[in-house]
């Protein structure tokens, strides 16, 4: 996990300089890098395509942008950081006094050395983001303003990676790829999703896992619109965001609140002993709100460390490479792997010898526990599995009711299945 953490941080570092938005070449460049780690199926959806109640917008690309003083010195420079331009800014080439320019400048007075992240996706505007310290140092006078961008018909780009399972029922893992130079939100989520997919591919999971790398909101809506006929295959889901800061883990439950992924995440986090929080669903945040919208009502929760808008660095230049740590990303990855291991093994069983307690010793099941330090716990797990294998209770029900570790219960079920006493 230490090595994985370092590799994930290296991936974040590679992605960090790119200027991403909800469309455009920055998204494509991001997916091209992720594609070095995973085979991706990339989709291009044309501008104007109707997707549920939305329409795919025009594509935005930017080559250069700056504000220069009368001496030609760039006092705000897109080349230094992609955050310096208001996302989706229309082209502009003008000279104007500072008094007029101020209406197009965005700062954070409460954090004067930080640069904010601002966008204007669905209205034609232009602007620059800069630190309050930089703005305060600007003298009155004339300034050259240049944004070399295009906003034209094109495509919305998203990608999928599928880890085949034993069944066609799917688990969705989603992360957004639309933010520019913000390390935690959401480059850490992209990195964790990428390495989670690679880990799952090392075994044959029970479920089929579909990873979505898509721009926030419009990307998830586009995917849902294009896959409405097969959404019933999605049995569980997890949105990954803000996955690399040093805060404690936070799981936001699905709209249902009692979906299997909710129960699994609550169990895994509690059993792990990690500091964590579990919060109720709200219709604000990341793309869990699209997957959980009433018409789809999918069992999709969201895993983060400190949640969106829950830390001062959120959507600012302070969300940089130093703000995320390899250890935190490795920990997030580990929890995802633990949760999906439980999800994959959480079967319902039927007791094939339900009249009285079957003789376990005659089948060698007690003898097999002789050398185990947890022999008594393992024996109780067998008895609990037999007792609750009525086709109605899954192994997670058994673990919770018995107060036993899920792995112990799952091992007991495997042993009983091998002895012909239960069937899935």
For the annotated binding site for Zn(2+), the residues are 179, 185, 315
Tokens of 285: 């945040």
Contact criterion met (CB below 8 Å) for 169 and 207: yes
Cα angle vertex 99, ends 93, 105, to 5°? 65
Tokens of 297: 């009502």
In angstroms, rounded to a whole number, what is the distance separating the alpha carbons of residues 316 and 384? 52
In angstroms, rounded to a whole number, what is the distance separating the alpha carbons of residues 338 and 268? 7
Cα angle vertex 172, ends 167, 173, to 5°? 130
Tokens of 42: 């990339």
Known binding-site residues equal 179, 185, 315
In angstroms, rounded to a whole number, what is the distance separating the alpha carbons of residues 294 and 116? 34
Tokens of 141: 């006078």
Of all helices (H) and strands (E), which one includes residue 175? Answer: strand 170-176
Residue-by-residue DSSP string for 336-388: HHHHHHHHHH--EEEESS-SS---TGGGTTTGGGTT-TTHHHHHHHHHHHHHH
Largest CA distance in the chain: 93
- Helix ranges (H only) for 273-325 are 288-291
In angstroms, rounded to a whole number, what is the distance separating the alpha carbons of residues 334 and 400? 21
End-to-end CA distance of the chain: 32
Q: CB pairs under 8 A, 24+ apart, for 193-197?
A: 193/240, 194/8, 194/11, 194/34, 194/37, 194/38, 195/4, 195/7, 195/8, 195/37, 195/333, 196/333, 196/336, 196/337, 196/340, 197/38, 197/161, 197/163, 197/173
- Helix ranges (H only) for 156-292 are 189-201, 218-226, 260-272, 288-291
């Amino acid at each position: 996990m230490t090595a994985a953490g370092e590799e994930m941080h290296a991936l974040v570092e590679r992605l960090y300089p790119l200027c991403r938005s909800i469309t455009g070449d920055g998204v494509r460049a991001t997916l091209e890098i992720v594609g070095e780690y995973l085979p991706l199926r990339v989709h291009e959806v044309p501008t104007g395509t109707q997707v549920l109640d939305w329409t795919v917008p025009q594509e935005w690309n930017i080559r250069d942008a700056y504000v220069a003083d009368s001496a030609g010195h760039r006092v705000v420079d897109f080349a230094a950081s992609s955050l310096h331009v208001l996302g989706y800014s229309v082209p502009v080439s003008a000279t104007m006094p500072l008094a007029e320019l101020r209406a197009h400048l965005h700062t954070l007075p409460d954090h004067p050395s930080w640069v904010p992240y601002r966008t204007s996706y669905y209205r034609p505007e232009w602007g620059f983001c800069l630190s309050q310290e930089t703005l305060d140092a600007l003298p009155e006078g004339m300034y050259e303003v240049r944004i070399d961008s295009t906003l034209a018909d094109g495509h919305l780009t998203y990608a999928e990676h599928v880890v085949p399972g034993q069944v066609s029922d799917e688990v969705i893992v989603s992360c957004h790829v639309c933010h520019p130079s913000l390390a935690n939100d959401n480059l850490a989520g992209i990195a964790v999703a990428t390495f989670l997919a690679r880990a799952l591919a090392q075994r044959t999971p029970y479920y089929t896992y579909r990873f979505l790398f898509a721009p926030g909101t419009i990307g998830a809506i586009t995917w849902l619109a294009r896959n409405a006929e097969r959404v019933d295959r999605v049995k569980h889901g997890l949105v990954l965001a803000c996955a690399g800061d040093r805060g404690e883990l936070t799981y936001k439950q699905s709209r249902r609140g009692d979906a299997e992924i909710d129960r699994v995440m609550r169990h895994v986090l509690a059993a792990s002993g990690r500091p964590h929080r579990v919060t109720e669903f709200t219709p604000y945040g990341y793309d869990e709100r699209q997957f959980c919208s009433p018409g789809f009502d999918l069992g999709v929760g969201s895993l983060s460390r400190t949640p969106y808008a829950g830390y001062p660095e959120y959507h600012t230049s302070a969300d940089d490479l130093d703000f995320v740590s390899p250890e935190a990303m490795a920990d997030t990855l580990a929890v995802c792997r633990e949760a999906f291991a439980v999800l994959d093994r959480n079967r319902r069983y039927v007791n094939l010898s339900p009249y009285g307690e079957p003789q376990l010793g005659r089948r060698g099941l007690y003898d097999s526990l002789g050398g185990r330090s947890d022999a008594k716990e393992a024996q109780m797990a067998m008895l609990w599995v037999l007792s609750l294998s009525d086709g109605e209770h899954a192994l997670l029900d058994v673990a919770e009711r018995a107060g036993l570790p899920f792995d112990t219960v799952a091992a007991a079920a495997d042993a009983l299945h091998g002895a012909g006493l239960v069937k899935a």
